Amino acid sequence: MTATTWTLVAAVCAAAAVVAAAPPRVRAVRRAGASRWGLAVVALPVVVLVGGASPRLVALACVAAVVTPVARRLWQARARRLAAAVTAGRVLETCEALAAELSAGRPPAVALDRAALDWPALATVAEAHRVGADVPVAWRNLATVPGAADLRVVAAAWQVSSRTGEGLADTLERVAVGLRDAQATARVVRGELSSARATARLVAVLPLLALAMGNGAGGDPWGFLLGHPVGLGCLVLGLALMLAGLAWIEALAREVDR
């Protein structure tokens, strides 16, 4: 491949990297200037190309510039999923703690203040109760945090108790029992999904093992993939299918989690 072709490939890969790195909600803002991450990704193939590296290294840099943002997104999705699971556990602990405090005869304000010490996110709910604001609305606002959607049930229980006079401690205890059962079911589902995720990651890593075996057998698979147009096409197609498969598994898992 000529130097002009390599330059074109680098430019296309860099543009694709910028588009992939930008989340939809901030793409309009990033049109005025790329983020530091986007600039770093774009700079990778450009610096390698300007530095007069070999075509094989330039091709590898272009592939890395495209793959890195997608892999980063998948990693961030995993981090968000784990954070949501931790938050869901906090919700259950909060319900159980509030029910225990109220059953012991403590007023709601004290119970909320103590719960806020363990989970600072509850400070807004405690403050709403302290100033006489709408506490169910504060619960619902907090329920928008990923993993805290069950707080809408707490908000409904709080609202029903305040309107009907039913004991809040008993209501929250029933809510806690329901959440405990729901989260036990969710853990079983996550356990089943983890095997599918592990299988997908194993399948994604297997091509690297095949390339290593090819090198060990005296072949030059990397030379073909990075130094020949057909090899480059196979590499790009293989990476695209691998990332699409991982993204598909994650999308199916998110639908099941819902």
pLDDT tens for the chain, 258 residues: list them.
Answer: 444 444 444 444 544 444 444 444 444 444 444 455 555 555 555 555 554 555 666 666 666 766 777 777 778 888 888 888 889 889 989 898 898 888 888 888 888 988 888 899 899 999 998 888 888 899 999 999 888 888 898 888 888 887 776 678 888 888 888 888 888 888 887 777 777 778 877 887 788 788 778 777 777 777 777 777 787 778 878 888 887 887 788 777 777 666
* pTM for this entry: 0.63
Q: Of the candidates 167, 142, 145, which has an alpha carbon nearest to the alpha carbon of residue 157?
A: 167
Question: Helix (H, G, I), strand (E, B), or coil: what is residue 140?
Answer: helix
Q: What is the DSSP letter of 105?
A: T
**Which burial class, exposed, middle or buried, applies to 104 when counting CB atoms under 10 A from its CB (0-12, 13-18, 19+)?**
exposed
Beta-carbon contacts of 118 under 8 Å, excluding residues fewer than 6 positions away, are 93, 94, 97
Neighbours of 205 (CB within 10 A): 10
